[in-house]
Amino acid sequence: MTWLVSLPVMLPILAAGIALGLSRHGFAQRLLTVLVLSAVFVDAVLLLVAVDRDGRAEVAFGGWAPTLGITLAADLLSALLLAVAVLVALAVLLFAIGQGTPDRAGSSIVPFHPAYLLLVSGVSLAFLSGDLFNLFVAFEVMLASSYVLITLNAGAARVRAGMTYTMTSLMSSLLFLTAVALIYAATGTVNLTELAERTAGLDDGVRSALGAFLLVVFAIKAAVVPLHFWLPDGYPTAPAPITAVFAALLTKVGVYAMIRTQSQLFPREDTWWLVAGAAVLTMLVGILGAIAQDDINRLLSFTLVSHIGFMLFGIALFDVAGFTGAILYIIHHIVVQAGLFLVAGLVVARTGTAALHRLESRDSSEGAGAAERHGTPPVVTALFLLPALSMAGIPPFSGFIAKFALLKAAVADGGTAAYLMSAAALVTSLLTLYAMVRVWRAVSSPVAGPSGHQRLTVGATAGIVLVGLAIAAGAGPLAELSERAAHDLLAR
């Protein structure tokens, strides 16, 4: 399975170089990027099937020993998240091509596709890294490419937001590199398989300090409250496809790294009160921030922060049921959050505003025809409503299934922390429903639906929404796969 493990990292890097050379041939650039991401998605599916059948796969590049060389490894969790992430990245790419920006805007035709390919390569490397230092490299690849993407065709406001995002990411990367150095000093290795054995022999105080260090690093990257301040200001300023892919993937990579390192290097036998407190705070502060917003993108950004708390919910329980619920929630959230931001992009492109009060107050005095003001055809409204209901946890959508798995795990745990997180989850779900209804009412009144040139953007958005529905329809097999992945995590 060597090529199955290495191709998701290597192929986008090679294609990025070729795409840069095709900077004067926009159609060739776009075709290359679509074909490469399609190939990576097929590879990810084949890797998932192979890992499920044969067990964990590991590749040591150049034949070097794991302590010295670059190691890539795939298990059920990494292969599953990789497949979902690449599928969403492909759909968002099609949306960006259909929208015509930023890849057709003058000089910006040069960096968009290479940077996008490097971003996917960084995400793939993060999921497949077999050691801590390469995980650090993966975050740096994502940072470099994401800064290019977030500042394409940028004015002063977006550059400032991009600098906030970049400086925060650099700070967390510096902390991450320091943590890697301290772990290497304490154990003599950064390979995750070897660390799983050697950290068990460390002094309890040293183990706790190293675990807390990594927890803070990944909490910044995952936008856990109170370390979330950079996200609501940074993401909404970017173009819709870039905001969607960032919201879908980057914070989830932080959560994945948190799950991977804490379960493998610093296992626990009981509920983690520190993470439980962070989960409650993240859920409630995030959703309260969302309902206070008037801008659709800022509202969705605060909702994104809030629902990171549901993933922390499962991590805090630190058992098979909790991790199963967290994995299901990550899969659901990658798809649904991307869909919501893409619909927001359709609304802004159609109406010229992201302000809820302006959407709600539009009338004939603004020149809209009667059919437009009554919102026919209702395709955009429907595309928003389905993922919005899923985000709020309304049955039978994927959000309900993931939240039910978490609540079921909390009941099985039976501890005080579990019940506190359950109460916060229920309150957050109700407030999420209120926030989604606010947006739906604003969206449903003025939006007439796509014009001819928007067909690819609507098709890509519809594809994301359909994937969310497929997750709900295949909840049984997906839950079984997630449970096996959780068993593997705790088996170390």
Which pLDDT belongs to residue 39?
96
> What is the overall mean pLDDT for the chain?
86
Tell me the percentage of the chain whose pLDDT exceeds 70.
91
Instruction: Name which of 416, 121, 95 is nearest 280 in CA terms.
Output: 416
Task: State the average pLDDT over residues 70-81.
Answer: 92
Residue 262 — very low, low, confident or very high, per pLDDT cuts 50/70/90? very high
pLDDT at 363 over 60: no
Contact 388, 440 (CB under 8 A): yes
pLDDT at 227 over 50: yes
Which stretch of DSSP H or E encloses residue 59? Answer: strand 57-60
Using alpha carbons, select from 466, 385, 300 the residue that is nearest to residue 375: 385
Which region among 161-165, 241-245, 462-466 has the lowest average model confidence (pLDDT)?
A: 161-165
112-128 and 76-99 helices, crossing angle to 10°: 170
Distance CA 192, CA 77 (A): 15
Res 418 pLDDT > 90: yes
Separation of first and last alpha carbons in the chain: 21
Distance (Å, whole) CA 61 – CA 5: 11
What pLDDT, on a 0 to 100 scale, did the predictor assign at position 104?
47
Binned at pLDDT 50, 70 and 90, residue 373 comes out as very low
Predicted TM-score (pTM) of the model is 0.91
Say if residues 193 and 131 touch (Cβ distance below 8 Å): no
Tens digits of per-residue pLDDT, 294-306? 889 899 999 999 9
From the list 14, 19, 36, the residue with the least C-alpha distance to 110 is 19
Both structure tokens of 242:
């870039």
Alpha-carbon distances, residue 17 vs 33, 100, 115 (angstroms) = 11, 22, 10
Q: How many CB atoms lie within 10 A of CB 205?
A: 8
101 pLDDT more than 70: no
User: Phi/psi at 184 (nearest 5 deg)?
Assistant: -65, -40
> In the numeric block, which tokens belong to residue 190?
């950064």
The residues, any chain, with a CB within 8 Å of residue 31's CB and separated by 6 or more, are none
Is the pLDDT reported for residue 390 higher than 60?
Answer: yes
Phi, psi (deg, nearest 5) at residue 60: -105, 110
Question: Is pLDDT at 102 greater than 80 in this prediction?
Answer: no
Amino acid identity, position 283: M
What band does 163 get if pLDDT is binned at 50, 70 and 90? Answer: confident
Q: What is the DSSP string of 214-263?
A: HHHHHHHHTT-TTS-THHHHHGGGS-HHHHHHIIIIIHHHHHHHHHHHHH
What is the pLDDT at residue 443?
Answer: 78
Using CA atoms, how far apart are residues 127 and 146, in angstroms rounded to an integer?
Answer: 17
User: Does position 370 have pLDDT exceeding 50, yes or no?
Assistant: no
129 three-class SS: strand
Which band of pLDDT confidence, cut at 50, 70 and 90, is reported for residue 106?
very low
The answer to whether the peptide bond before residue 377 is cis (omega within 30 degrees of 0) is: yes
Q: What's the whole-number mean pLDDT along residues 123-133?
A: 93
CB 240 within 8 A of CB 296: no
Mean pLDDT calculated for residue range 112-124: 94
Amino acid at 15: A
Higher pLDDT residue, 86 or 163? 86
Task: Give the model's pLDDT for residue 324.
Answer: 95
Lowest mean pLDDT among 158-172, 203-217, 219-233, 282-296: 158-172
pLDDT at 453: 47
- How many Cβ atoms are within 10 Å of 85's Cβ, its own excluded? 30
| pLDDT recorded at residue 258 | 94
- At residue 284, the pLDDT reads 96
226 prior amide bond cis, ω within 30: yes
Q: With beta carbons less than 8 A apart as the criterion, state whether 269 and 200 touch.
A: no
Query: Do residues 451 and 369 touch, judged by C-beta distance below 8 A?
Result: no
Q: Do the Cβ atoms of 66 and 477 come closer than 8 Å?
A: no
Please say if the pLDDT value at position 359 is more than 80.
no
pLDDT > 80? residue 351:
no
Q: How many angstroms separate the CA atoms of 43 and 46, rounded?
A: 5
For residue 271, pLDDT over 50 is answered with yes
Is residue 452 exposed (0-12), middle (13-18) or buried (19+ Cβ within 10 Å)? exposed
Residue 478 to residue 282: CA distance in whole angstroms:
26
Place of tokens 């550059």: 159
Question: Which 3 state secondary structure label does DSSP give 57?
Answer: strand
What is the three-class DSSP state of 105? coil
Nearest in space to 77 (alpha carbons), one of 485, 487, 492, 471: 485
Distance CA 344, CA 359 (A): 12
Helix axes 273-291, 296-317, angle to 10 degrees: 160
Q: Within 10 Å of residue 285's Cβ, how many Cβ atoms?
A: 17
Question: What distance in Å separates the CA atoms of residue 491 and residue 171, rounded to the nearest whole number?
Answer: 33
pLDDT band, residue 375 (cuts 50/70/90): very low
Q: How confident is the model over 75-92, as a mean pLDDT?
A: 95
Rg (alpha carbons) of the chain, rounded to whole number? 22
Q: For residues 328, 334, 336 and 337, what is the CA-based torsion angle, rounded to 10 degrees?
A: 130
